[in-house]
Homo-oligomer: A and B are copies of this chain.
Amino acid sequence: MQQIPTIDNVTEARERLKGYAFVTPLLESPALNARVKGRVLIKAECLQRTGSFKFRGAWNCISRLTQGTAKGGVVAYSSGNHAQGVAAAAALMKLPALIVMPADTPDIKKANTRAYGAEVVTYDRERESREEIASRIAEERGAVIVPPFEHPQIIAGQGTAGLELVEQAQERGATLDAVLVPASGGGLAAGIALAVKAKSPATTIHCVEPEGFDDHARSLISGRRERNDRASGSICDALLSPMPGELTFSINKSHLTSGLVVSEAEVKRAMAFAFQHLKIVIEPGGAVGLAALLAGRIAAEGRSIAVIASGGNVDPAFYADVLTGR
């Protein structure tokens, strides 16, 4: 296993991200506060460069590479958001990027990845191994693999969202009782846990997953990495990793209090709520935290809860269906 990142790596990552990643706003909605009878702070990572938090980790990793150390560029495998983060970071570093993406990835994620100048190779989520395809291509090209979560620099980069969150909450006079963070491979949760537990130890951290893909929730209970039965078939296309990462779970198992699980109907309601009351576009995987809150999966009355809205890359036709209840 690789070295476990620390809060120092997160702090260092923040310096590296300055001027490249955005400090995303912490949004608040009186309507949402009234509804849960508490105070809710939304960390709007959908407003991050490339439309999700993934640029943070990608930049923290790729900005250290040079034409010398990565003469064949970078290769990544991703369901879409990491793809865009890697493609944008590589473009800024003038390195070629090739991304291995599932064939059923939303078109907007494929199109945006290509728009950043990356080459896209698709694979079958159920039958092929993206890691094997990426390894083979990286070897052929002399390229560096940028994994989506199992990497200390990736985790530390994602953690910068947690540092910002704690500081922005303090500026608003809020002491965070809990943080809700979507989990797929667990990189965002691990990074945010490192940051939040270092700066606000009493805050509890809860990952959130869609039904059928609740590997983290079950792993946190059993204490070992549990696997999902399925590898596809959720509207939360960003949250389909088969199991927690080894590195990420080594952090999450001790830093996370629990895992919450939401239904697809709850996710859609959260997306529509964000449209109506927050005026931000959240993709299904990015809306699970808000969905858990609105569904009452965590006590909010009289408390301050932060929700990470992790991404906003959703196809317009699907979003239209969510808004109109089709």
Contacts of A18 in B (CB 8 A): none
8 Å CB contacts to B: which residues of A122-140?
A: none
Contacts of A47 in B (CB 8 A): 25, 27, 278-280
Contacts of A46 in B (CB 8 A): 279
What is the bound-complex CA distance between A145 and B278, given in angstroms?
Answer: 29
Contacts of A291 in B (CB 8 A): none
Contacts of A316 in B (CB 8 A): 272, 275-276, 323-324
Closest Cβ of chain B to A37, distance in Å, is 16
Contacts of A282 in B (CB 8 A): 279
A30 at the interface (CB under 8 A from B): yes
Closest Cβ of chain B to A269, distance in Å, is 12
| A 6-49 to B, binary, CB cutoff 8 A, 1 in contact else 0 | 00000000000000001011011011000000000000001101
Contacts of A324 in B (CB 8 A): 316-317, 320
Closest Cβ of chain B to A312, distance in Å, is 4
A202 at the interface (CB under 8 A from B): no
Closest Cβ of chain B to A45, distance in Å, is 10
Interface contact A275-B319, CB-CB below 8 Å? yes
Closest to A27 in B: B47
8 Å CB contacts to B: which residues of A64-113?
A: 88, 108
Q: Could you jot down 22 A-B contacts, CB within 8 Å?
A: A22-B27, A24-B25, A25-B25, A30-B49, A30-B88, A31-B115, A47-B278, A47-B280, A51-B279, A275-B316, A276-B316, A279-B280, A279-B282, A279-B312, A280-B280, A280-B281, A281-B281, A316-B323, A320-B320, A320-B321, A320-B323, A320-B324
Interface residues of A (CB under 8 A from B): 22, 24-25, 27-28, 30-31, 46-47, 49, 51, 88, 108, 115, 272, 275-282, 312, 316-317, 319-321, 323-324
